[in-house]
Structure 1
Amino acid sequence: MAGTHRTPQRRHPVRTLAAALVLALAAVALYLSQAPSSRPAAVANVQPVAASASPSPTPSPTPTADPAAAVRTAAAGVAAQGGVSVAVLDTASGVSASYGTGSFVTASIAKADILAALLWQRQQAGRELTSSEQATAALMIEQSDNDAADTLYTAVGGAAGLDAANQAFGLTATTAGADGHWGLTETTATDQLRLLQVVFGTDSALDAGRRTYLQGLMGQVAADQDWGVSAADQDGAYTLKNGWLPRSATGLWVVNSIGRVTHDGRDLLVAVLSDGSADEQSGIDTVESLAEAATGALAIELTG
């Protein structure tokens, strides 16, 4: 899903006119340097070209970039079934933008939150993950193993433990799933963007070593889960966690994706949530289109 952009060659009409002006003036100077008797009659009426003949360059318009509006417009143009929301942040400038409101169930993107919570709890206690916990964490993130998630959700203290960690992370609109149902955790795209800042940002409740550990697992997801926000990446170094879940009441699909990508040379964090797709593939297509639209719009606005 990596891609490259080749910049087309551009012509410069102002430079071409300037070159023609130089040649014309040189011809006139040569003509005037000759004696009157030796001047060719064919150029007897040549006059010097006035410098004012070169048009003044048109001033560049004053930038009126509005990243938030650009992202909203781009995301609104994506055809989608059901409800959608996307949030994106440029790590260099700190500029972020979002589209869509409301809460969505997390499905398996909650697994990144569960591991972040466990790492935070162990950090608070001055402990590292045990070898067993590390093996379980790898299964949970890389393979999206549900049994592993059950084990670590219990380890963090279930809903109460996850909610406490999320409060420390600054997630104000996320409520952990009750009765062990971590996949029914309620969240928003902007809260998932805050979680990504915990995982990838330097101003984080997690120390550098724990952030690097979680990033590493998110960079090694199984090949059959290599979809979602990675569609917006252009250098192949993306990291992500996806979630997908058919709702028992409606048969419609929840499909979500969160992660870090590089687009137009910019390091971007992006979270895409959706609910109401007819099938899993439709949800994946929606998520990928939203990721591409939002990251592309933000990168263009910031790059100018």
Structure 2
Amino acid sequence: MPMRAIAVSGGLVAGLIVGVPAAAAEPVCTSEISPKIAKRLSGEIRSALRGRSGTISVALYDRERHLSCWVGASRRYDSASTVKVTIVAALLRSAQKRGLTAREKSLARAAITRSDNNATSALWSQLGRARIQRLLDLAGMKSTRLGPGGLWGLTQITAHDELRLLMLLTRKDTAKYKEKVLTARSRRYLLGLMHSVTPSQRWGTPAGVPKGVSVHVKNGWLPRRTHGWRVHSLGTFDGRKRDYMLVVLTHGNSSMSYGIRSIERVAHAAHSALNPETSARFLRSPVEEISDGSAPFEPVDGW
């Protein structure tokens, strides 16, 4: 499979850049600082993907270990509700000089913590495509394509671009180019919303995270006539000397639950490998098979 260096937040990491069905996916994890952990994690992600039907992409970066993992990082997916992180980031950038209004704070909180679609549509309309595209450009999210018209849930995203966004949000320094995109205050604000997501929507990448590690998450779940269920999860994790991000995007799932199980197998492998000295919690909560409503309903065969 073709490989090349991919620039991520000022560094270069090696990874797979072509989207592939899960059955053929070959994750690659690299780390000059922790090569043994990278090798173990690569094998565990490979095992987590084995036997899965449909398509899956994974992007992971551990800042402390300079460890990265990629599989299918350039494949595009309908974003579903994960795009709400991008929309709120664009809102924060547009309001950095004047501050958020009470209305904007309410809309941002609803969009992220409850995945409220009306709030997201209001922000999408208020910002306009140009301001959201400007955020994408500044963040280096070159492969992301905004959804047509008001269909923000059909924005095309990649695991590579979503990881770039998470890395931007979690940087602790105040490098000039970071401040140009989002100030440290704005980044903390958005991470705080992701930390406060309602419990029923905290599935996916947090699965298996050990105690003492703080979780910030945003998920998306959308059935469409083609590619079945899209089920995605974005997560950042810090504390206990940990600082890493994980993106898992999927489609071709027969059900929402199947997509969640696939994501959580990858997540559990990642948390276990990156936190070998702690016991992981892997609690799966039942979910209701209902679309997140981020795009018009389309019946799916067999659903």
Same fold (TM over 0.5): yes
Deviations 1:234-260 (A, max 9, x none): 12521100110001345x110001011
Q: SS of 1:229's equivalent?
A: coil
Give distance in 2, aligned partners of 1:110 and 1:291.
20
Give the conservation status (yes or no) of the 8 Å contact 1:140–1:146. yes
1:108 aligns with 2:85: no
Q: SS of 1:88's equivalent?
A: strand
In the alignment, which residue of structure 1 is the partner of 2:106? 135
Quote how far apart the aligned CAs of 1:68 are.
5.5
Q: Which runs of 5+ in 2 are unaligned?
A: 1-32, 277-303
In the alignment, which residue of structure 2 is the partner of 1:248? 225
Structure number with the higher strand fraction is 2
Give the conservation status (yes or no) of the 8 Å contact 2:202–2:218. no
Amino acid aligned to 2:59 = A
Identity %: 35
| 66 and 106 in structure 1: CA distance in 2 versus 1, 3 angstrom threshold | farther
Give the conservation status (yes or no) of the 8 Å contact 1:166–1:174. yes
Q: SS of 2:214's equivalent?
A: coil
Give distance in 1, aligned partners of 2:140 and 2:38.
22
Q: SS of 1:259's equivalent?
A: strand
How high is the TM-score relative to the length of structure 1? 0.71
In the alignment, which residue of structure 2 is the partner of 1:234? 210
Q: Tell me which of 263, 267, 277 is aligned to 1:291.
A: 267
Deviations 1:49-76 (A, max 9, x none): xxxxxxxxxxxxxx98266654443222
Q: Tell me which of 146, 162, 171 is aligned to 2:117.
A: 146
In the alignment, which residue of structure 2 is the partner of 1:216? 192
Aligned runs of 1:179-190 on 2, under 5 Å? 179-190=149-160
How high is the TM-score relative to the length of structure 2? 0.71
Quote how far apart the aligned CAs of 1:175 are.
1.1
| 64 and 206 in structure 1: CA distance in 2 versus 1, 3 angstrom threshold | closer
Give distance in 1, aligned partners of 2:251 and 2:183.
34
Task: Give the total of aligned pairs.
Answer: 234
Give distance in 1, aligned partners of 2:274 and 2:251.
24
Give the conservation status (yes or no) of the 8 Å contact 1:85–1:100. yes
Q: SS of 1:238's equivalent?
A: strand
Amino acid aligned to 1:77 = S
Amino acid aligned to 1:90 = D
Amino acid aligned to 2:127 = V
Give the conservation status (yes or no) of the 8 Å contact 2:112–2:193. yes
1:199 aligns with 2:172: no
Quote how far apart the aligned CAs of 1:80 are.
2.2
1:275 aligns with 2:251: yes
| 65 and 259 in structure 1: CA distance in 2 versus 1, 3 angstrom threshold | same
| 221 and 196 in structure 1: CA distance in 2 versus 1, 3 angstrom threshold | same
Quote how far apart the aligned CAs of 1:183 are.
1.0
Give distance in 2, aligned partners of 1:264 and 1:298.
11
Give the conservation status (yes or no) of the 8 Å contact 1:230–1:238. yes
Quote how far apart the aligned CAs of 1:222 are.
1.0
1:84 aligns with 2:56: yes
In terms of mean alpha carbon deviation, does 259-268 or 128-137 score higher? 259-268
Q: Tell me which of 93, 116, 126 is aligned to 1:120.
A: 93
Give the conservation status (yes or no) of the 8 Å contact 2:214–2:239. no
In the alignment, which residue of structure 2 is the partner of 1:23? none
Deviations 1:181-211 (A, max 9, x none): 1111111112111100121113532111111
In the alignment, which residue of structure 1 is the partner of 2:131? 161
Give the conservation status (yes or no) of the 8 Å contact 2:210–2:271. no
Q: SS of 2:160's equivalent?
A: helix
Give distance in 1, aligned partners of 2:153 and 2:90.
15
Give the conservation status (yes or no) of the 8 Å contact 2:194–2:218. yes
